[in-house]
Structure 1
Amino acid sequence: MTTELLTRRTHRTPTRPDLTVLGELTLPLARLHEICGPARHTLAMLIAAATQGPVFWITPAWTTDALNPDGMVALTQPNRFTFLAPRRAEDLLWTLEEALRSGLVPLAIAELPEPPGMTAVRRLHLAAETGAAEGHGAPLGLILTPGDGGAPGIETRWHMAQAHTPGAPGWALTRRRARTLPPKDWHLAGRPGRWRLTPSTLTEA
Structure 2
Amino acid sequence: MKTHFEPSLGDPLALVAARVHEAQGRGRRAFALFQAARISGVIVWIMPAHIPELPFLGALPAGVNERLHLFRTTGETDLLWSVEEALRSPAVGLVIAEPQQSMSLTAGRRLQLAAETGQTRGMMLIRDDAGSNAAESRWVCESSPSPAVDSTLHHWSLTKNKKGTLGAWVLDWNGTSSDFNLVSEARERHQPAQAPG
TM-score interval (norm. to shorter)? 0.7 to 0.9
**Whole-angstrom distance in 1 between the partners of 2:179 and 2:71:** 31
| Structure 2 counterparts to residues 3-82 of structure 1, below 5 A | 19-20=7-8, 23-72=11-60, 74=61, 76-82=63-69
Q: Please state if 1:162 is matched with 2:155.
A: no
Q: Relative contact order (alpha carbons < 8 A, sep ≥ 6): 1 or 2 greater?
A: 2
Cα deviations by residue, 1:17-44 (Å, 9 ceiling, x for unpaired): x854993112111111001110111110
| Pick aligned residue for 2:154 from 167, 171, 196 | 171
1:94 positional shift: 0.5
| Pick aligned residue for 2:121 from 140, 150, 169 | 140
**Whole-angstrom distance in 2 between the partners of 1:119 and 1:199:** 40
Contact 1:162 1:171 in 2 (8 A): yes
Contact 1:118 1:153 in 2 (8 A): yes
Structure 2 residue matching 1:115: 3-state secondary structure: coil
Q: Please state if 1:189 is matched with 2:157.
A: no
CA RMSD of aligned residues (A): 2.2
1:181 positional shift: 2.0
TM-score w.r.t. the length of structure 1 is 0.78
Q: 1:170 to 1:181 in 2, by over 3 A?
A: same
Contact 1:148 1:159 in 2 (8 A): no
TM-score w.r.t. the length of structure 2 is 0.81
| Gap regions ≥5 residues in structure 2 | 1-5, 187-197
Structure 2 residue matching 1:92: 3-state secondary structure: helix
| Gap regions ≥5 residues in structure 1 | 1-17, 132-137
The amino acid across from 2:166 in the alignment is P
Aligned length: 177
**Whole-angstrom distance in 2 between the partners of 1:47 and 1:37:** 16
Q: Please state if 1:102 is matched with 2:85.
A: no
Judge which range, 109-118 or 170-179, deviates more: 109-118
